[in-house]
Amino acid sequence: MTAKKNKSNASWVHAHINDPYVKMAQKDGYRARAAYKLKEIDDEYHLIKAGMVIVDLGSTPGSWSQIAREKLSAKGTLNGRVIALDLLPMEPIADVDFILGDFREDAVLEQLQHLVGNAKVDLVLSDMAPNLSGIASVDAARIEHISELALDFAQHHLQTNGALLIKTFHGAAYDGIVKQFRALFKQVHIRKPKASRAHSAETFILGRGLK
């Protein structure tokens, strides 16, 4: 069993090292290949615009925050604000405010409120993913919970014309998550970017305009 596991790990490492998006991320200075997923979706839907307040949930290691900052700095200077939150520490990114903690806790939300003032958030990003067990029913519940956390956060902090983009996974909980998006947003788009690995069950759901 150990030999099989070691072989599987070695195969993953080999595939990861030779992944073109991993190589591109290293060359372009992004912290993870996930940067290209957000970049591709933003290129299609033009989510990130000058002057926006953007919150990046589950931000570590920070590649989505890097893209958000880059897009807000297209004319040379930052025009907008990026606030990143995570339970795990994140190496600093210039012009990005980072809050360490659980966004369900009042103390963390108070820090967020202090940063944004009375303004509502324009865009919420969530690349969060649960630890998967391999047990379908358990994993479905975890995936649904993570998605619901992002939806609840957006419902309370997004401005009316704002947008929420999350990563989720195909499985038993998927249809229910899409249904919740359609109940909350006027427009719902589902995408699997080219930067997503072909064998991955991940997909991205974008909701725009609160009902």
- State how far the Cα of 152 lies from the Cα of 145, in Å rounded to an integer: 10
Q: What confidence tens digit (pLDDT) does each residue in 192-203 have?
A: 999 988 888 899
- 37 CB burial (10 A radius; 0-12, 13-18, 19+): buried
- Whole-model pTM: value is 0.89
179 a catalytic residue: no
Q: Is the dihedral of CA 141, 37, 46, 97 positive or negative?
A: positive
Amino acid at 57: L
Of 1-10, 142-151, 158-167, which gets the smallest average pLDDT? 1-10
The active-site residue, picked from 167, 186, 192, 194, is: 167
Q: What confidence tens digit (pLDDT) does each residue in 70-122 have?
A: 999 988 899 999 999 999 999 999 999 999 999 889 999 899 989 988 788 99
